[in-house]
Amino acid sequence: MTSNYTFMRRGTKTEPYLYVGDSLEMCPRDESFSIANDATVKDMEGADVSYVADLLKVPGFYKAVTDIIDGDKPTTEEFLENLAAVAAALEHVVAQVIDYINEKCITEL
Mean per-residue pLDDT over the chain, rounded = 74
pLDDT > 70? residue 77: yes
List, for residues 24-65, the tens digit of each pLDDT value. Answer: 677 787 778 778 877 777 777 776 777 788 888 877 767 777
Give which of 45, 56, 58, 57 is closest to 8, Cα–Cα. 45
Rounded to two decimals, what is the model's pTM?
A: 0.50
Residue 23 binned pLDDT confidence (cut-offs 50, 70, 90): low
d(CA 59, CA 42): 22
